[in-house]
Amino acid sequence: MQNLSKIIILDIWLLVFGSFFWGCVGELEPVISDHEPVLNVFGFVSLDNKIPSFVVVHKTLVLEGSEWEIIGSDTIWYGDGPDDYWIYIRRESKYLVKDATVIISDGETDYIFTHIEDPSMEDSSWLSYGLINDEAVYMDTSGFFTPSPSTAYTLNISTPDGMTLTGELTTSPVPQIHTELVPDTLYNKIPYTITWIPIPDHYVIIRNHTHFYICGANQRDVLELGDSSWTSSVPRCEDDRWDYDEPDTLEIQIMAMDENYYEYFIKHAYEDEFVNFLLGGGSSGLAYGVEGGFGVFGSIATDRIQRILVP
């Protein structure tokens, strides 16, 4: 009898609480934001002959409403019957900005970056590197923009609906590896040293990778200011059953970056900055080298060599 009373009391409590809860839900008002959308960009000036410069243009959104916009639909038939079809709704993210005017200038010449209509169809190295998977990419299609080291550049972006963003950067010197000091053949289980001409005011990253998997061959380090040498670490691979046991080509890259790029992608990056392109997505809500919105206007400069690596 006592248990029955407890059950009745619990049912009554749930009924009262549920009525109160659903009553509150029924009276909730939609969340309305007074946030004005601003541009969120990644402007990238490349002094790397394998990676072109580009600008990705997104915008922030207000809280209410969908982040997607329906742009059309397709009928997909899978049989001969009148009902043997389904409707594929084509939608697009409202974050994308495809109608911006994007200009990078060196103070003497303005270079207009053009929206790439269908980046998946472009036959260019930046796609094969997996740097960009985005439909709001702008590039210099004239072929005249060839950035120089230790040079100041400005970025100006405007949209038809009045959003604007500006940016400034100074490119780093191009690293120069002491190629003559690196043997033609390296050994994965013996430390090897890479040296380069010092760049005192710029951080550098060394990235080594092979075509096939060799245990411990892929190494990466962010070095301190003024560093001009790096020595590989010796991996422990006794229990690695997937190790490739044939010599392979090792690509060694020394990448210098300007202050904006370092602050956004390295110092204030996610724990894993390799999210999307080159060094990843960076942190949200930050602005380095840009004014009037979010994102980064940064640059890199790279030197690379190839050697044979023996497992």
Q: Over the stretch 74-113, which tens digit does the pLDDT of each residue have?
A: 677 777 777 766 665 555 566 789 999 999 999 999 999 9
- Residue 296 Cα distances to 86, 150, 292, angstroms: 42, 18, 11
Question: Mean pLDDT throughout 58-64?
Answer: 72
Q: Cβ(296)–Cβ(303) under 8 Å? A: no
Q: Sign of dihedral through CA atoms 175, 178, 179, 184? A: negative
How many whole angstroms from its chain centre is CA 240? 31
Higher pLDDT, 139 or 69: 139
**What region does 183 belong to: left with phi over 0, alpha with psi -120 to 50, or beta?**
beta
Q: How far apart are CA 26 and CA 154, in angstroms?
A: 52
Out of 54-58, 228-232, 273-277, 283-287, which region has the weakest mean confidence (pLDDT)? 273-277
Rounded percentage of the chain residues whose pLDDT exceeds 90: 50
Question: Mean pLDDT throughout 15-24?
Answer: 36
Q: What are phi and psi of 258, to 5 degrees?
A: -75, 175
Higher pLDDT, 91 or 49: 49
H or E stretch including 11? helix 2-27
